[in-house]
Structure 1
Amino acid sequence: MPLRERLPRRLFQLYAGLAGYGLSISLMLAAHLGNQPWDVLHQGLAHRTGLSVGTVLIIVGALVLLCWIPLRQRPGLGTVSNIVVIGLVVDAANQVLPQPSHIVTRWAFMIGGIVLCGFASGLYIGANLGPGPRDGLMTGLAARTWSLRGWRTVLEVGVVATGALLGGTVGIGTVLYALAIGPLAQFFLPMLTVAPRAPRTPAAVAEPAPA
């Protein structure tokens, strides 16, 4: 789709989706029941470095984007925005979200975070302004070597294992996210994808009425 086509709606979807995605990460962090796979790594690195989770998310996203170069992937506006906006929203949300102690509230935060992530993914992916850096890495690797499912499994198992060793939280939320995010994104994406406008056809020329 050309960049300028339906741009106002696509920009709204992109940034609303990225903000929602960042909030979903913070909800799962606050639940302390297991993070999204990449956020296990982000949280573990934050523990080790003293940086905020959002700052680590931005740094890791930028490093992953550098891996696109040998894969000849081309980032879009959504790719760069993904790196910056989600990290900023995570840090802002972490400052204002309560830290629930009751198990029911923690489960509500976790489930809400997973569902919100699926919806937010549909919003920003459906805007067609470029994939996130991590998704682009997986699709770039799959296009040149192995299957998308295979690379996704290898990368996510790797980041979860590394993050857990660094102190990131792995738990039931991590498992439920892995099981639910695909079906949720598949459910929301068709209804949120911005389709190109149908080409205009010239109006039919009226034939003169017979005399």
Structure 2
Amino acid sequence: MYRFTIRLFRLFFGLFLYALGIVLTMQAHIGYAPWEVFHAGLAKVAGMQIGTISIWVGLAIALAAMLGGEKLGIGTVCNMVAVGLFINVLLDGGWFKEQGNAYIGIAQLVLGLFVISLASYFYISSGFGAGPRDSLMVLLARKTRIPVGVCRAAIEVSVTIAGFLMGGLLGWGTLLSAVLIGFCIQLTFRLLHFDPKQVVHEDFAKSLKQLGQALHREG
């Protein structure tokens, strides 16, 4: 039970950090990352908070991935709901103001990308399943037999264009995010000696079985 609880803590701590990193990049105000361009644009059209839109988009993607044959885990659902809620709380709290200085904005954007990278370490290492957007990427790669990297690029270009057309903030920070996120994640994982390929993710059934076994041992 102790190990399962620690894994849950790593999951939710990682999701909080992920939301924090997203807010930092948004409030840098030099251009949102691709998915945030889409979420912000859709939020303008729907008249909803960006975190709430993120939850609904995540739900739609998760259902599509599940119908396409991808297995969903506890981490998929928690990612879908918790990140959006954390984003709303952080933005509503007003702790991070929009930057008006481009140089400070760049520094904050890069900091946000490293926070997202650290979040990815905690979230992925918990082993509770991929996020909905990652599941969509894997689904497309499996169905089309196109390389994962190409599928990810196609998705992010598509959501960026759609988000911009709906009024999302597109700027050179968007390009900077797309270019630097891979480097930030690679550097962070290397410093932490973490290889995500070694993580075996659980679907719902396996996680519930593990929880049942842990509770049985405790009893």
TM-score, scaled to structure 1: 0.84
Bigger CA drift: 88-97 or 175-184?
A: 175-184
Q: CA deviation at 1:102?
A: 2.8
Pick the structure with greater CA Rg: 1
Match among 16, 19, 26 for residue 29 of structure 1: 26
Q: Quick check: 2:49–2:88 contact (8 Å CA) kept in 1? A: yes
Give the residue type in structure 1 aligned to 2:120.
S
Distance in 2 between residues matched to 1:76 and 1:174, nearest whole Å = 30
Match among 45, 53, 56 for residue 53 of structure 2: 56
Give the residue type in structure 1 aligned to 2:184.
L
SS in 2 for 1:46: helix
Task: Report the structure, 1 or 2, having the larger helix content.
Answer: 2
* 2:103 aligned partner: 104
* 1:10 aligned partner: 7
Give 1:35-74 correspondences, 5 Å limit.
35-74=32-71
Distance in 1 between residues matched to 2:134 and 2:169, nearest whole Å = 22
Distance in 2 between residues matched to 1:188 and 1:73, nearest whole Å = 28
Structure 1 residues 118 and 131, CA gap change in structure 2 (3 angstroms): same
TM-score, scaled to structure 2: 0.81
* 2:215 aligned partner: none
Provide, for residues 100-153 of structure 1, a one-character-per-residue CA deviation record: whole Å limited to 9, x for no partner.
323333223212111111111121012111110000110122123221011111
Where structure 1 has 5 or more consecutive residues not aligned to the other structure, the ranges are 197-211
1:157 aligns with 2:157: yes
Provide, for residues 19-43 of structure 1, a one-character-per-residue CA deviation record: whole Å limited to 9, x for no partner.
0111111112211111111110000
Aligned-residue identity in percent: 35
Distance in 2 between residues matched to 1:130 and 1:5, nearest whole Å = 19
Q: Quick check: 1:71–1:141 contact (8 Å CA) kept in 2? A: no
Distance in 1 between residues matched to 2:35 and 2:13, nearest whole Å = 21
Distance in 1 between residues matched to 2:45 and 2:27, nearest whole Å = 19
Distance in 2 between residues matched to 1:67 and 1:107, nearest whole Å = 35
Bigger CA drift: 57-66 or 180-189?
A: 180-189
Distance in 1 between residues matched to 2:109 and 2:132, nearest whole Å = 24
> RMSD between aligned alpha carbons?
2.0
Q: CA deviation at 1:180?
A: 1.7
1:144 aligns with 2:143: yes
Q: Quick check: 1:28–1:109 contact (8 Å CA) kept in 2? A: yes
Number of residue pairs aligned between Structure 1 and Structure 2: 193
Q: CA deviation at 1:67?
A: 0.8
Where structure 2 has 5 or more consecutive residues not aligned to the other structure, the ranges are 200-219
SS in 1 for 2:100: coil
Distance in 2 between residues matched to 1:9 and 1:100, nearest whole Å = 36
Give the residue type in structure 1 aligned to 2:167.
G
Distance in 1 between residues matched to 2:189 and 2:131, nearest whole Å = 15
* 2:202 aligned partner: none
SS in 2 for 1:67: helix
Distance in 1 between residues matched to 2:174 and 2:3, nearest whole Å = 36
Q: CA deviation at 1:193?
A: 6.3
